[in-house]
């Protein structure tokens, strides 16, 4: 991808914080994955603080939070916990923070519901259906075994969530401290991801929807086999084009950056290239599993294979909806995609 983000800050150490905009503190928390960190934000909110995203439920994350509460809060309470989306690195400590601060959790409706479902075992309970879905799309047994072994059990990782929440709606504006913020929802990575835009500060908290270097994971899910998450994702990206070119972007991974519009262009080109590669590969019918080497040039470990097949299926379904590929359930039980002549 050709864009070169402009990073005004050096990388932080885990648990280190820095005020990147007056009143907005950047926190870098560890993650126990190949993607080894997540950025969280602490915003001065009048007589208290608002937290954006909670981190992954590990002892280390909780210890870092405790240290931040001791060192940074100036004896003011956390008044609100905003969660951009349901993924465990963002939501899993929401219940813990709420219990600690008695502060409401703000989320969009779909993200809230999905978090509740995961918390009560959804993806763990439907793991057999999920595996069958991957097998239909050509995943080999070692990939299936790898997925089963490496998939975290969200019902254990996400701590109990409160039974009520404050719903955020697309376009809604609300103040945090002295400034108004607007909710910009997006889909494709998760069902109703909330990004937050502050015109006064010229700052976008982009969550996982826009990341400076890695491309956001967009995967087809087994509960929506004919879905088109890549279309949803690309349409969602376009919503950020209305923001100024010099907006300062605070993403959930990597570092705060400038260069939003170049990044949107680069992501569009990246997916267009992958879509073309998938069409070319389907001159002979291919399963989504067989498409992976055409879409990902690097070696993938077993954990990454699960993400990769999700992405391959998302690209293939996009092309079916676009009329460039057709999808057939073959007699051997596999789903294959072919060029439309
Ligand atoms: Zn995410």
Instruction: Calculate how far, in angstroms, residue 190's C-alpha sits from the geometric centre of ligand 1.
Output: 7
pLDDT at residue 215, as a whole number: 93
3-state secondary structure of 35: coil
pLDDT at residue 298, as a whole number: 84
Q: Catalogue all structural domains in the chain, each as residue range(s) with its CATH number.
A: 17-282 (3.60.15.10)
pLDDT at residue 297, as a whole number: 86
Instruction: Calculate how far, in angstroms, residue 4's C-alpha sits from the geometric centre of ligand 1.
Output: 23
Per-residue pLDDT of the chain (341 residues; tens, 9 = 90+): 567 899 999 999 988 899 999 999 999 999 887 788 999 999 999 999 999 999 999 999 999 999 999 999 999 999 999 999 999 999 999 999 999 999 999 999 999 999 998 888 766 667 888 889 999 999 998 888 887 877 777 777 877 888 889 999 999 999 999 999 999 999 999 999 999 999 999 999 999 999 999 999 999 999 899 999 999 999 999 999 999 999 999 999 999 999 999 999 999 999 999 999 999 999 999 999 999 999 998 888 777 888 899 999 999 999 999 999 999 999 999 999 999 98
- For helices 229-238 and 302-321, the axis angle rounded to 10 degrees is 80
**Residues 294, 84: Cα–Cα separation, whole Å:** 32
Instruction: Calculate how far, in angstroms, residue 55's C-alpha sits from the geometric centre of ligand 1.
Output: 11
pLDDT at residue 300, as a whole number: 83
Instruction: Calculate how far, in angstroms, residue 85's C-alpha sits from the geometric centre of ligand 1.
Output: 7
pLDDT at residue 35, as a whole number: 82
**pTM (2 d.p.):** 0.95
pLDDT at residue 123, as a whole number: 60
pLDDT at residue 293, as a whole number: 95
Look at residues 271, 205, 199 and name the one whose alpha carbon lies nearest to residue 235.
271
Phi-psi region of 207 (alpha: psi -120 to 50; beta: other; left: phi over 0): left
Instruction: Calculate how far, in angstroms, residue 218's C-alpha sits from the geometric centre of ligand 1.
Output: 10
**Residues 9, 12: Cα–Cα separation, whole Å:** 8
**What's the CA dihedral at 315, 317, 318, 319 to 10 degrees?**
90
Q: Would you tell me how many other CB atoms lie within 10 Å of the CB of residue 71?
A: 9
Instruction: Calculate how far, in angstroms, residue 103's C-alpha sits from the geometric centre of ligand 1.
Output: 23
Instruction: Calculate how far, in angstroms, residue 86's C-alpha sits from the geometric centre of ligand 1.
Output: 7
| Helix (H), strand (E), coil (C) string for 246-304 | CCEEEECCCCCEECHHHHHHHHHHHHHHHHHHHHHHCCCCECHHHHHHHHCCCCCCHHH
| Helix (H), strand (E), coil (C) string for 191-252 | CCEEEEEECCCCEEEEECCCCCCCCCCCCCCCCCCCCCHHHHHHHHHHHHHHCCCCCEEEEC
Q: Is 83 in contact with 90 (CB distance < 8 Å)?
A: yes
Give every CB contact of residue 322 below 8 A, 6+ residues apart in sequence: none
Instruction: Calculate how far, in angstroms, residue 189's C-alpha sits from the geometric centre of ligand 1.
Output: 6
Average pLDDT, the chain: 93
């Amino acid at each position: 991808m050709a864009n070169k983000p402009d990073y005004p800050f050096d990388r932080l150490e885990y648990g280190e914080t820095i005020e990147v905009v007056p009143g907005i503190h950047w926190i870098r928390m560890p993650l126990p994955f190949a993607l080894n960190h997540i950025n969280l934000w602490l915003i001065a909110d009048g007589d208290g603080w608002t937290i954006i995203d909670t981190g992954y439920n590990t002892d280390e994350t909780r210890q870092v939070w405790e240290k931040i509460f001791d060192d940074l809060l100036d004896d003011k309470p956390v008044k609100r916990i905003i969660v951009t989306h349901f993924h465990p690195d963002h939501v899993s400590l929401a219940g813990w923070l709420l219990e600690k601060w008695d502060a409401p959790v703000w989320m969009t409706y779909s993200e809230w519901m999905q978090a509740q479902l995961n918390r009560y075992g959804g993806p763990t309970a439907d793991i057999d259906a999920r595996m069958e879905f991957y097998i239909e799309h050509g995943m080999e047994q070692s990939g299936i075994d790898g997925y089963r072994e490496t998939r975290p059990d969200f019902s254990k990782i996400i701590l109990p969530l409160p039974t009520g929440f404050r719903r955020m709606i697309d376009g809604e504006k609300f103040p945090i401290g002295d400034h108004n913020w607007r909710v910009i929802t997006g889909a494709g990575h998760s069902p109703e991801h909330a990004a937050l835009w502050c015109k006064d500060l010229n700052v976008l908290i982009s969550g996982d929807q826009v990341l400076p270097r890695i491309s956001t994971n967009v995967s087809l899910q087994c509960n929506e086999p004919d879905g088109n998450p890549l279309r949803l994702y690309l349409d969602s990206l376009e919503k950020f084009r209305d923001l100024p070119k010099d907006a300062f972007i605070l993403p959930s991974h990597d570092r705060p950056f400038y260069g939003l519009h170049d990044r949107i262009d680069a992501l569009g080109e990246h997916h267009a290239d992958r879509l073309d590669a998938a069409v070319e590969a389907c001159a002979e019918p291919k399963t989504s599993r067989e498409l992976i080497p055409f879409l990902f040039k690097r070696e993938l470990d077993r954990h990454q294979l699960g993400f990769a097949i999700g992405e391959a299926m998302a690209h293939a379904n996009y092309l079916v909806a676009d009329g460039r590929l057709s999808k057939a359930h073959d007699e051997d039980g596999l789903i294959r995609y072919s060029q439309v002549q």
